[in-house]
Amino acid sequence: MRILAAMSGGVDSAVAAARAVEAGHDVVGVHLALSRAGGTLRTGSRGCCTIEDALDARRAADLLGIPFYVWDFSERFRDDVIDDFIAEYQAGRTPNPCMRCNEKIKFAALLERAIELGFDAVCTGHYATLIDGEQGLELHRASDNAKDQSYVLGVLTTEQLAHTYFPLGTTPSKAIVRAEAEDRGLTVAQKPDSHDICFIPDGDTRGWLAEKVGTATGEIVDRAGEVVGSHEGAHAFTVGQRRGLKLGVPAADGKPRFVLEVRPVSNTIVVGPKEALAIAEIAGERYSWAGAGPVDSSFACHVQIRAHSEPVAAVATVTDEGVRVVPAVPLDGVAPGQTAVLYVGTRVLGQFTIDTTVSAVPVGA
């Protein structure tokens, strides 16, 4: 196949490209410039889109003997990822920018251009596997559960899966990938993984948002509506947050309180006991299927609400209004804006963006 290898400058994408070359494919490497003013140096795991990363990707491509290009996707990234991130926080939701980047950039904008240029597939260093099932191509978890990235790929459509290539999916561990990189002479063999939001490399999401959307004083109330404090911007709070609340009125039982809800229209934060973070039901209107969708309108599955959280047994129901999921045990600290990915066994069935949640602990209980 003609393969376009997305090379971030990290060890995973470099080894994935190397394996594509070794498999006999016609491979071209590409690094995505996602910022017009990218940082010069990367600090540990901070960020993933610096000039240093681009140079690391180029060195890997040179070693592999494949053509290499840098494509400027900064405008598309700003519109589809950064602006979306800001808008979601302003709407009181907690977005996942990595999920949006996969959906809009790596497997939409990049894949579209790759197909236009005659490539058969885009190769990435994601840890996930593709299997030919009875009803077509299926997305499954990686062999290494500790590195499995199928959650952040849950947004991919059937058409996109047909043009993707994940060479690392069956690798038993990340240690094997690093050892292989060493053997191949790749200089990124021991490079740290990136864990932070790439466009907020210093990790100060609260300060970054304050610069973008400004501050506005509002009230912090308990579940009964009593004012217990104030804040300088609802965007600085997420569901489940405990620190930094600076409440002026202590709880009657003396226990700590947590953010239960963010109400952007009234610029109000609702706090309450930890028990109230337990969620008995989630629902969302925006959903997609990764391959063939469910046969029945109601079906048993497992739901995962974070990239590295444990999947929970649940029953999902699909209606004209969207997807509703009732977990077998309450979910902890779910925030609107998060992505819920549905699994059947190791297979990713699909995903939806959480719009509404129902607490397992009624007000006044």
Catalytic position from the list 49, 98, 123, 198: 198
Cβ atoms of 349 and 290 within 8 Å: the answer is: yes
Cβ atoms of 127 and 144 within 8 Å: the answer is: yes
Residue 67 φ/ψ, nearest 5 degrees: -60, 150
Q: Is 136 within any annotated ligand binding site?
A: no
Strands 268-272 and 218-221: parallel
Cβ atoms of 10 and 18 within 8 Å: the answer is: no
Classify residue 317 by burial, with Cβ atoms within 10 Å: 0-12, 13-18, 19+: middle
Residue with tokens 């800001």: 86
Q: Is 99 within any annotated ligand binding site?
A: no
Cβ atoms of 141 and 130 within 8 Å: the answer is: no
Q: Is 47 within any annotated ligand binding site?
A: no
Catalytic position from the list 49, 101, 123, 301: 101
Q: Is 1 within any annotated ligand binding site?
A: no
Classify residue 145 by burial, with Cβ atoms within 10 Å: 0-12, 13-18, 19+: exposed
109 Rama sector, left if φ>0, alpha if ψ -120 to 50, beta otherwise? alpha
98 is catalytic: no
Residue with tokens 């104030």: 230
Q: Is 10 within any annotated ligand binding site?
A: yes
Cβ atoms of 198 and 96 within 8 Å: the answer is: no
Query: Which amino acid is present at 363?
Result: V
Q: Is 265 within any annotated ligand binding site?
A: no
290 Rama sector, left if φ>0, alpha if ψ -120 to 50, beta otherwise? beta
Q: Is 125 within any annotated ligand binding site?
A: yes
131 CB-near residues (< 8 Å, 6+ apart): 137, 138, 140, 347
CA torsion 66→68→73→77, rounded to 10°? Answer: 60
Residue 285: helix, strand or coil by DSSP?
Answer: coil
198 is catalytic: yes
Q: Is 11 within any annotated ligand binding site?
A: yes
Q: How far apart are CA 82 and CA 175, in angstroms?
A: 33
Q: Is 12 within any annotated ligand binding site?
A: yes
Residue with tokens 């304050």: 210
Q: How far apart are CA 138 and CA 291, in angstroms?
A: 6
Annotated binding-site residues for ATP read: 6-13, 32, 125
- Residues with active-site annotation: 101, 198
Annotated binding-site residues read: 6-13, 32, 125
